[in-house]
Chains A and B, each alone.
Chain A
Amino acid sequence: MNTPEIWINLAYLVAGVLFIFGLKGLTHPKTARRGNLLGATGMLVAVVATLCHTQVLSYTLIIVGMVIGAGVGAFLARWVQMTAMPQMVALFNGLGGAASALVAGAELLRDSMAPEGSAVQSLTVADLAPKSIAIGVSGLIGALTLTGSFIAFSKLQEIWFKKPFKLKFHYVINLGLTLVVILLGIALAMNPLGGVGNLCFWGIIIAAGALGVLLVAPIGGADMPVVIALLNSYSGLAAAATGFVLQNSVLIISGSLVGASGVILTTIMCKAMNRSLFNVLFGVMAADGEGPSDDIYEGKVKWTSPEEVGILFESAQRVVIVPGYGLAVAQAQHAVRELAQELKRRGAEVEYGIHPVAGRMPGHMNVLLAEADVEYDKLKDLDEINPTFPETDVVLVIGANDVVNPLARTDPQSPIAGMPILDVDKARTVVVIKRSLSPGYAGIANPLFAMDNTLMLKSDGKVAMVDILAAVRDV
């Protein structure tokens, strides 16, 4: 290692440490912003150090690439709406994966084009095997992350594949593509420095890209939190694989940190739905389980009006608001906050019960409510809020369904059996705002709607909030 390289590697170490401190900052809302800044500083250190590398001889392409990329990134980050955050994260994810794969491809091409007699050309196939395999893995994960994320983006933005999409022999085709990738990987490792190797690499990119589409296309909207967390993990693993290609420590460190983060989030999301990752990815849900049909509502559902809810709130001491994806769709977060403030002004205690998979990505509801200036310490997760429901006067459910379905507790045959839910049915009164009695994602009826202590308000989430607020002020 020559002297500049030692300094560069030390800078990479500093960057790695900054990333770790940055993530550590995210363990508390107070330190989170500084943590993110530390992470960004780490990135800056790593980039500046790399610019000093002896391998960097021309800056034209670097400057062009950086200016375009930074400009687009800053523009997107500035203008994206908070409700569109899940698709934004999916998009960034995909680009990161693609970048990792392209870097691996460029490195492969550079080695293949290296002049006769150069160091890399004198290496044997066996010497190059770890690098070639890393190139193949980087191409596989990177391309899969790119196309998978674009399908997720498209689903969330409601462009294509809004509904789960499955081909005939879908999983057979997936298996075939996987085999193709493995065979091309072997061929790549056996021809690490020739045209064949490069062709194999781009073959892997195409096959893995197709695989990414087919893996995500059949997955439904409510399972998106799992998919996005998983793709997040992949983008990290792609970076780590590229780290092995370039034998670069900072890529390996950052890649594995992100990989670990994605795996943890995926696990949390799966647990919150009481489903295995396999079950989510291969969509074996609900098909065999039988829930009660809509008959359970017959003559038992009590419809209410905003005025009636207003009167109910007049005497309420403790109110819990339970938001779901419907809140994001209706963009009702500001209206909810206003209602909550009015209730607080009248002496009621208001908290929010947030289910881990409410929304389309981990923490989706928290971000939306934070946007509306709701204090984060009022946002309670399952374990905190569930014991308080028996002492709660009114629960307001907005745009959530499966996560408040008591069948998860009571019916072991139900497709959602064992899923941890918000026990809103234990509160004195539950007001459910919903546009119809249609079932949620799991496709089963919700006995909560027919319970004695439940009132249904047929309305759009935002309209309902505004009407109830007016009614509360009138009382």
Chain B
Amino acid sequence: MDFITGLTIFVLAVFVGFEIITKIPPTLHTPLMSGSNAISGIAVVGAVLAAGAEKTTFAAVLGMLALVLAMVNVVGGFLVTDRMLHMFRRKDGQ
């Protein structure tokens, strides 16, 4: 994948993001933040690649450190969002 392909994906995904997120009601802004925050923990993918190197080099250790941080972000983010969303309900409708 060259730089221009990457840039194309980036710009198009930004537009998709704008389209969807403008439709999210203010009530859900906090879960949106923590949920999207968990998605930004996608660096976990890069961390796996770096930490999975054959030999335990300094780069692999950096990768593992990144993996720890990204996993806190991902697991914590999705779980806390679920916990919050669980509370959003409509009594009359249930």
Contact = CB atoms under 8 A, between A and B. Distances in A.
B72 A89 contact: no
Nearest to B91: A375
A40 B54 contact: no
Interface string B32-66: 11111111111111111111111111111111111
Given A58-B54, A66-B67, A95 B73 contact: yes
Contacts of B88: 29, 32, 370, 376
Interface in A85-121: 85, 88-89, 92-93, 95-96, 98-100, 102-107, 109-110, 113
Contact of A20 (B16, B31, B52): B16
Contacts of A56: 48-49, 52
Nearest to B29: A363
A283 B63 CA distance: 38
Interface in A19-47: 19-20, 22-24, 26-29, 32-33, 35-37, 39-40, 42-43, 46-47
B36 A23 contact: yes
A409 B93 CA distance: 38
A102 B65 contact: yes
Contacts of A249: 1, 6, 9
A228 B33 contact: yes
Contacts of A19: 39
Contacts of A220: none
Interface stretch (A236-244, A411-419, A445-453): A236-244
Q: Which size class do A's interface residues fall under?
A: 35 or more
Interface in A33-79: 33, 35-37, 39-40, 42-43, 46-47, 50-51, 53, 55-62, 64-66, 68-70, 72-74, 76-78
Q: Which size class do B's interface residues fall under?
A: 35 or more
A279 interface: no
A248 B48 contact: no
B54 A65 contact: no
Contact of A70 (B48, B57, B71): B71
B82 A36 contact: yes
A43 to B, nearest CB: 6
Given A39-B39, A105-B62, A73 B30 contact: no
Nearest to A56: B52
Given A43-B74, A363-B32, A68 B68 contact: yes
A234 B67 CA distance: 19
Contact of B6 (A42, A95, A243): A243
A356 B25 CA distance: 11
Give the one of A57, A92, A238 with max B CB within 10 A: A92
B33 A96 contact: no
A55 B18 contact: no
A321 to B, nearest CB: 15
Contacts of B38: 39-40, 43, 92
A254 B40 contact: yes
Contacts of B31: 26, 32, 36, 363, 367
B29 A61 contact: no
Interface stretch (A184-192, A257-265, A301-309, A392-400): A257-265
B6 A244 contact: yes
Nearest to A129: B3
A361 interface: yes
B62 A102 contact: yes
A33 to B, nearest CB: 4
Q: Which 4 A-B pairs have the closest CB atoms?
A: A69-B71, A260-B17, A363-B29, A73-B76
Given A69-B68, A96-B41, 9 more contacts: A23-B17, A43-B42, A70-B72, A93-B40, A93-B73, A95-B41, A99-B41, A356-B26, A376-B89
17 contacts: A32-B28, A39-B38, A58-B60, A73-B74, A77-B75, A85-B80, A92-B80, A103-B66, A106-B59, A242-B43, A247-B2, A248-B46, A252-B10, A258-B37, A265-B33, A362-B32, A367-B87
